[in-house]
Structure 1
């Protein structure tokens, strides 16, 4: 009897855990819709109205405003990383990482990032400029996302450095610098009321970064 009762309790616990997770997803999606509708400065009342519930329910499932922010960021991060990885996987350079010219990789990576910025600007602003919350640096999702993207780029840059005779140990810091360059460029581009088309800025940023990397390799080859 005890074993059977334990199994029933475990089953209820599992169903309740699944229900809570499903509710978190629903509330996060409601928050994203509210951000798109009302802008990055959206209030909890507006999010609750979009979800058709009360702020108390949101706090119960997501915690305080920081918890809501982190849940939104986690959802956006998964989307960015999925699009970023898919974009890189489609490039010839990703399939043949020994290619010295990284331009196709850079175009794919930058375009996947700027696509989100262009298509979801208010969500992007909400994530990168969190309103009314103090985010601990050791759990900052923007830093974590940048590190994940840089790690993927680092593997590809290492192949280019190695092929060009440079120390591939430099790849992680170069990748981190590239991510910072693209992010700051995106921040400036998305706020420009007369911004150039995305395809054009992607080409320009990729060319700038590729010329810098190729020059870095070529200078070493000339000096060797």
Structure 2
């Protein structure tokens, strides 16, 4: 009897593992379909459009996601991963702090301009049908703010200054950019993205530049 248990348990584990992998893959496919449906139908997309995009029925979608809110949170997690990944790539390296700031602002604006309906879907919460434990938008802002704070802290340490202020400054810059970006989309993009990025960079840099180390060329210009 003990031999039978030893032989059958691994089979069950393998079947369970394959089923778990299938469910993960199917959930990712439904998230893909949701993103595509938002792009096609707008931020007010419904479950019927999402199911049609996924080539299935609403019943099957609800088999993998308990409700609309769970699917919404999964889409937000996808967007957060993509945005933070692009920001890390854009700010990686040893460029001048202003160049890093410019790259971060431009990357954020380019991301939302590439798919404004997806951004509205995430930020405006039109898909939620119940409160969620953690606001995905606040979580996304916190993730981006933490990245900005890390960059500011490194610059402050390089300047020999206390990095304690990096967190409020980093999150403050992100809040400013997000607020301006929201206005930009609501106003139907009244200026080119590059101009908006320049304006936001100028404003943020006016506050940060006095706190960061100067390059040799900047020191010579003011001497």
Q: CA RMSD in A?
A: 1.8
- SS of residue paired to 2:126: coil
2:118 to 96, 104, 123: 123
Match of 1:180 in 2: 175
- Aligned-residue offset at 1:4: 1.3
Aligned residues: 209
Residues 164-202 of structure 1: per-residue CA shift (max 9 Å, x gap): 454310100111111111111111112223521111211
> Which one has a bigger Cα radius of gyration?
2
Residues 54-113 of structure 1: per-residue CA shift (max 9 Å, x gap): 1111111122010110111111111101111100115514xxxxxxxx311111111111
2:39 to 19, 36, 41: 36
Match of 2:17 in 1: 14
Unaligned runs of 5+ in 2: 214-223
- Between the aligned partners of 1:28 and 1:132, the Cα distance in structure 2 is 13
- Aligned-residue offset at 1:116: 1.3
TM-score (norm 2): 0.87
CA contact (8 A) 1:31 1:47 kept: yes
- SS of residue paired to 2:44: coil
Larger CA deviation: 43-52 vs 208-217: 208-217
Q: Map 1:205-224 onto structure 2 (within 5 A).
A: 205-215=200-210
Unaligned runs of 5+ in 1: 94-101, 219-224
